[in-house]
Each structure stands twice: as C-alpha cells, then as structure tokens.
C-alpha cells in the first residue's frame, strides 16, 4: 500500500479511529466493571489480601499497583518515544503496547485472589499497554495532520472514543444484568474483560494499516538516543525558569492534577465500599449507571467550562472549578446513600472534562513561541503522571493505615487548596 499524504482524510480518520479501539479500556476496565468485579471478590467481612509479604486492604493494594504502573510509564515513555522517533518504527512500538494491553485485558478473565501475582500481572499489562500505546498515538498527531487540522482531528478521536466505549459498556452492562445470581454476574464480568481485549486489538488494525511506520529512516540505537527524551525534558525545565507564568501554572497544575486524577481512578472503588447499597444487584447497576452519567455530563461540563473561560479567562475559571472539586471532597466524605452518590457523580462529570481540557489548553496558550511543542507536552504528560503516582500513593497509604477511603478523599482537599493558591500566583501577563 502506498503511503497516504499528510493531512489526507483517510489518514486522519485512521488515526482518530484508534481512540474508538482503545477507549474501551478506560471505561470498562479502569472505571467501571473491573473495579466492581475486584471488590466483589472480597467477602464483606474480609477486605484484605496478602501480597508481597504484607496484608493489604483490598482497595489499597490495587491503588498501589496502579501507582507503580504509572511510575513505570513515567520513566520509560520519554526514553521509548525518543528511540521510536530516531529509528523510525513508531508504529511497531504502538502495536507492541496495544497487543500487550489487549492480552492483559483478556487475561483478567482468570483474575483470582488465590493466584494474586499473575492476576496483578494481567492488570499491570492492561494499564501499561494503554498508557504506553497512548504515548506513540499522541506523538503521531503532528506527523499525520497539519497544524490547522490538529484540533479538529483530536476532537474527532475523543468523540469516537467516547461513542465506542459507551457502546461496549452498555453491551457489557446488558450481559451482566441479564443474570439473576451473583456467580453468573461475575462470570459475565469476566467475559466483558475478554470483549475489551478483542475490541481493542481488532479495531486497532484499521489504524495500523494506514498509519505510517515512522517519520525518519532507521538508525542504530546508541546510548545518546536512549537518553535523548530525558535530555529534552531537562532542556524544557531550563526554559521554564525563564518563563514565570508558564512555570507557576505548571506548579499549580501539578498539585491539583494529583487530586483530580486520583479521584477519577478510585471513584468506583469508593462507591463500592463506602456507599450503603440495598443489594449487590443495586450496587452493580448503580455504579455502572453512575459511570455512564459521568461520561454524558462530562461533555456538557467541557462545553460550559470552555464558555466560562472565554468570558472570564482560563485562570479564573480554573480557580472556580478547583473550589467545586474541594466542595466535592467534603461532600464525598459525608455521603452514604446511593442518591447522594448519583449527585456526586453528576457534579464530578460537570468538572471532570472541564478541568482536564482547560488545563491542557491553558498550558498550550502559555507556551513560548517554539517549534518544539512536542518536548513541552512530553514534559506536561510526565508532570501529570508523576502527580498521579504521588496522589495514588498518598491516598492508598491513608486508606491502608486508617481503614477507610473517606479519610483519603478528605485529605485531597489540601491539594485543591494548594492548586487554588498557586493559580492566584500565576501572572496575568507573560513574564520573562
């Protein structure tokens, strides 16, 4: 097949379609069915598991494993992306992580507390496969689209990902809720993990068929190439010292992002453990419906946040959104009933999409005039992932020590307060 021209409609569609393929992981595995399945493995009176020589609270263990996975991604992605760019086989790296993640999802079918290490390995494979492939997927954008096309094709990818993931989640929900007893529901959840892996691997083939191998001719990998990505991050850090507004915004983003990402990753585990559901059936349905509500409301929230930022400015809007998140943490600490959880899910949806999209666009606006935007956004992604690791470890430690996730949620108030204080310190004008 002849290589498609940069900016061609078929190439742009092929790139965006990978979002349709891989977004099912975030919705079914990371956000909804797997957390419900994992929590259901534990009896109501026994919520601990022995692993790595310690007795872990169930939610603390999975949070620590998630944090460790993000730590691995944080340190390997700049190195791998630097190598892939140099040797010109970006697609092979993307394929590797895609298949690793897809097989990890399929492997979750055999997740069992009696074989906790292999079970955790499958979970690790899915998580690192998703985030690892995303590094190369995102780096394709400037290769396949011209500057004026990038916003629209990125939005198209988001839309396709949202539609695809919701379709599969509804299918999985019907599979689970069609069963009457708990054992059959668990079996359907295991089958849903297989559907995610197959969906991800199968639909990604369309993207892999049309995406170019890479942008440069193959070269031999040397020590300098391996550490080139890290060198670029160090150069960005040096440049930040000359740009006060960008540096202070990045500090604020780093602090409040710790809390936002942590809440998004533990929300379903919190709902499963801390909310007084009347039955296991109501719990399963309620948690999955809550995730769908968040997805739907997040679109409205992103639009409202965008309009607010156009009228009042990005920083002022982010400050208000952080105040809403602070209120959410206080509210979550006291909520007990399912209806309170649904209200929380609606509020989270309103501010979830907004704070993520607005933070990234604000960072983009504050960038100096440079052609090397890739390095700046690589720095942004690494900062976000380090924040996730710190936030998850702190949350898991509080959960493990105190025995309740409520204290961890309440502690996150400090991160939002810190983010607000730091946002107030961001200069209105560019300061060199």
Q: What is the pLDDT of residues 59-112, one digit of tens each?
A: 788 888 888 988 888 888 777 766 766 666 778 888 999 999 999 999 999 998
Whose tokens are 């940069």? That residue is 6
- Domain spans of the chain? 1-216, 242-432
Q: pLDDT (tens digit, 9 = 90+) per residue, 2-48?
A: 578 887 888 989 998 998 999 899 888 888 888 888 888 876 556 78
Query: 141-153, pLDDT tens digit by residue?
Result: 777 877 677 667 7
- pLDDT higher than 60, residue 372: no
In 88-181, which residue ranges form alpha helices assigned H by DSSP? 90-107, 116-139, 141-144, 147-177
Rounded-to-integer distance, Cα 215 and Cα 81, Å: 12
pLDDT tens by residue, 384-399? 888 888 988 998 899 8
Q: Which has the closest alpha carbon to 139: 177, 183, 189, 82? A: 82
**What fold does the segment set 242-432 form as a domain?**
Growth Hormone; Chain: A; (1.20.1250)
Exposure class string for 192-225: b at 16+ Cβ within 10 A, else e: bbebbbebbbebbeebeebbeebeeeeeeeeeeb
CATH topology agreement for domains 1-216 and 242-432: yes
pLDDT level of residue 224 (50, 70, 90 thresholds): low
**Where do the H-state alpha helices sit in 211-279?**
223-226, 228-240, 244-274
Q: For residue range 344-366, list pLDDT tens digits in order.
A: 988 888 887 677 777 877 777 77
Architecture of domain 1-216: Up-down Bundle (1.20)
Question: What local confidence, expressed as pLDDT, does residue 214 receive?
Answer: 64
DSSP string of 17-82, one letter each residue: HHHHHHHHIIIIIIIIHHHHHHHHTS-TT--EEEETTEEEEHHHHHHHHHHHHHHHHHHHHHHHHH
pLDDT band per the 50, 70, 90 thresholds, residue 189:
very high
Q: What is the pTM of this model?
A: 0.79
Rounded mean pLDDT of 233-260?
84
- What's the mean per-residue pLDDT of the chain? 83
**For residue range 16-29, what is the model confidence (pLDDT) as tens digits?**
899 899 989 988 88
Instruction: Give one DSSP letter per residue of 221-232, joined into a string.
Output: --HHHHTHHHHH
Provide the pLDDT for residue 388.
Answer: 86
What is the pLDDT, as a whole number, of residue 222?
60
pLDDT of amino acid 370: 62
């Amino acid at each position: 097949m002849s290589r498609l021209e940069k900016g061609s409609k078929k190439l742009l569609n092929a790139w965006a379609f990978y979002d349709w393929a891989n977004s099912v992981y975030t919705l079914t595995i990371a956000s909804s069915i797997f957390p419900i399945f994992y929590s259901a493995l534990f009896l109501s009176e026994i919520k601990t598991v022995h692993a790595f020589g310690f007795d872990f609270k169930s939610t603390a263990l999975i949070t620590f494993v998630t944090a460790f996975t993000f730590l691995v991604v944080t340190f390997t992605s700049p190195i791998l992306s630097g190598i892939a760019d140099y040797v010109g086989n970006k697609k092979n790296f993307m394929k590797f992580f895609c298949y690793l993640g897809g097989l990890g999802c399929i492997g979750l079918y055999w997740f069992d507390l009696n074989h906790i290490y292999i079970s955790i390995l499958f979970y690790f494979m899915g998580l690192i496969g998703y985030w690892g492939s995303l590094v190369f997927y995102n780096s394709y954008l400037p290769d396949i689209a011209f500057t004026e096309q990038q916003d629209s094709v990125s939005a198209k990818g988001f839309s396709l990902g949202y539609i695809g993931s919701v379709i599969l989640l509804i299918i999985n929900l019907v599979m689970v809720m069609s069963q009457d007893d708990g054992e059959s529901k668990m079996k359907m959840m295991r089958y849903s993990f297989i559907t995610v892996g197959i969906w991800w691997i199968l639909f990604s083939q369309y993207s892999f068929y049309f995406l170019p191998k890479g942008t440069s001719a193959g070269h031999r990998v040397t020590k300098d190439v391996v550490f080139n990505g890290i060198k670029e991050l160090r150069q960005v850090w040096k440049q930040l010292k000359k740009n006060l507004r960008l540096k202070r915004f990045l500090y604020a983003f780093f602090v409040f992002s710790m809390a936002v990402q942590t809440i998004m990753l533990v929300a379903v585990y919190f709902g499963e453990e801390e909310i007084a559901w009347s039955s296991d059936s109501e719990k399963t349905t309620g948690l999955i419906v809550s995730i769908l509500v968040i997805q739907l409301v997040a679109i409205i929230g992103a639009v409202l946040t965008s309009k607010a930022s156009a009228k009042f400015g990005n920083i002022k809007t982010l400050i208000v959104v952080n105040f809403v998140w602070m209120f959410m943490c206080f509210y979550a600490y006291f909520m007990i009933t399912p209806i309170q959880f649904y209200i929380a899910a609606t509020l989270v949806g309103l501010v979830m999409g907004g704070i993520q999209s607005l933070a990234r666009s604000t960072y983009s606006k504050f960038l100096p005039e440079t052609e090397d935007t890739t390095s700046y956004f690589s720095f942004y992604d690494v900062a976000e992932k380090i924040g996730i690791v710190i936030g998850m470890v702190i949350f898991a430690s509080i959960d493990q020590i105190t025995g309740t996730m409520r204290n961890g949620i309440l502690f996150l108030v400090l991160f939002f307060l810190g983010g607000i204080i730091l946002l107030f310190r961001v200069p209105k004008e560019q300061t060199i």
